[in-house]
Amino acid sequence: MSRKLEIIVLAILLVFTVQFVYMSSTTDAEYGGADGEAENVINDITGGTYEPIAEPFWEPPSGEIESLLFGLQAAIGAGIIGYFLGYYRAKSRYEDDLGYKDKSKPDSDRQSQ
C-alpha cells in the first residue's frame, strides 16, 4: 500500500508543529480561546455595555474537568472510528481473500471454507 498521502499529511502536521514550537518560544502569545477574544471584540464594539442574555447552567468547575470532558469527547469519537474501520476492513478481507460471500441472505447455510 502506497503511503504517499500519509507522508504528505505528516509533513503538514510537522510544519504546523514546528511553527507552533517556534512561535510559542519566541513570542508571549497566550494561546487562549478565540471565543474569549470574540468576547473582547463584543465589549469593544458595545463599549462594554452588553449583558449576556443567558448563562451556561453548568460549567466545568475547573480547567482539569474541562480537559477531562474534551478528552472524553475525543476518546469516544476515536473509539467509534477505529471500531468500524476495523470492522469494515475485516469484512472486506473475508469477502475478498477467503471467498466468503454473504450475499443477500445471511441466514443461508453458506459457510466459510
Partner 1 sequence: MHIMEGFLPSPWWQAWFAVSIPVIMYGIYKMNRLVKEKREILPLLAVAGAFIFVLSSLKLPSVTGSCSHPTGTGVAAIIFGPAISAVLGIIVLLYQALFLAHGGLTTLGANVFSMGIVGPVVAYLVYKAGMKANINFYAVVFLATAFGDWATYVTTSVELALAYPAGGVLTFAGFMSSFGKFAVVFAVTQVPLAIMEGAVSALLFKYVVNVKSDILIEMKVIEASIVKKLRGISA
- Interface residues with partner 1 (CB under 8 A) are 1-2, 4-6, 8-9, 12-13, 16, 19-20, 23-24, 27, 29-39, 41-42, 44-46, 50, 52-56, 58-60, 66, 69-71, 73-74, 76-81, 84-85, 87-89, 91-92
Nearer to partner 1, 39 or 110 (CB): 39
At its nearest, how many Å lie between partner 1 and the CB of residue 109? 22
Which cell goes with 99?
471467498
**CA-CA distances (angstroms) from residue 108 to 14, 17, 102, 111?**
51, 54, 8, 9
Alpha carbon 83 to chain centroid, angstroms: 15
DSSP 66: H
Nearer to partner 1, 93 or 110 (CB): 93
* Selection from 113, 75, 81, 107 nearest residue 94 by Cα: 113
The letter for the amino acid at 105 is K
At its nearest, how many Å lie between partner 1 and the CB of residue 110? 18
Beta carbons within 10 angstroms of residue 39's beta carbon = 13
At its nearest, how many Å lie between partner 1 and the CB of residue 70? 5
At its nearest, how many Å lie between partner 1 and the CB of residue 113? 23
Nearer to partner 1, 11 or 110 (CB): 11
